[in-house]
Chain A
């Protein structure tokens, strides 16, 4: 069975641009969470969605937004990119809120 898949794997943007990252959960999983991981640190929670509704939000500015589609896939959007947004963006899926999360290999976003 396919695990969590994320696209693209790598992305280079410049300051001020906008980016959309995509995630497909494990088949049967209805919840998707997004994390930002800066080099040398643990993942920081951004959003969790379950059945297309936002169920949790971390301490990130409004430039960050997300949505979940009827097929449970998800997109993370970041507007007005800053240098500090350079990080590995991880998507995790689970059967429900609070259940064990399984991660994709992330999208490496570099801001120049």
Chain B
């Protein structure tokens, strides 16, 4: 269903550590998944995407893992930096005619220096 959360989960990490942000998606028919980063006062920024025929994709310092069996998505950030502090959203795209994005609740990442 649609995102209806009222309180964002928060992840606090030390600078230099690796971060793992998790997301459970709702529809087994979804065929495309995207991670966005949203800094305060800005719009969501595309980070990385993955299609349902893959289970892992790597970018610069980021890796997305997809487990279709349990409908779980994760974003791993290596060597987390203060500039990574933001709210992270996963989004799923439903297959079919109405290909709108369905957004997850969001996780607030705080990086401690």
Q: A residues engaging B (CB < 8 A)?
A: 4, 33, 40-45, 48, 56, 58-59, 90, 92, 97-98, 100-106
Contact = CB atoms under 8 A, between A and B. Distances in A.
Contacts of A33: 100
10 contacts: A41-B6, A41-B105, A42-B103, A43-B3, A43-B103, A56-B98, A56-B99, A101-B101, A105-B42, A105-B43
Contacts of A98: 32, 93, 99
Nearest to B49: A100
Given A42-B5, A44-B2, A100 B46 contact: yes
Interface residues of B, number: 28
B43 A103 contact: yes
A103 B93 contact: no
Contacts of A43: 3, 44, 89, 103
A106 B6 CA distance: 20
Contacts, number: 60
Mostly helix, strand, loop or mixed at chain A's interface? loop
Interface of B: 2-8, 32, 34, 36, 41-46, 49, 89, 93, 98-106
Nearest to B89: A42
Contacts of B93: 98
Contacts of B2: 44-45, 59
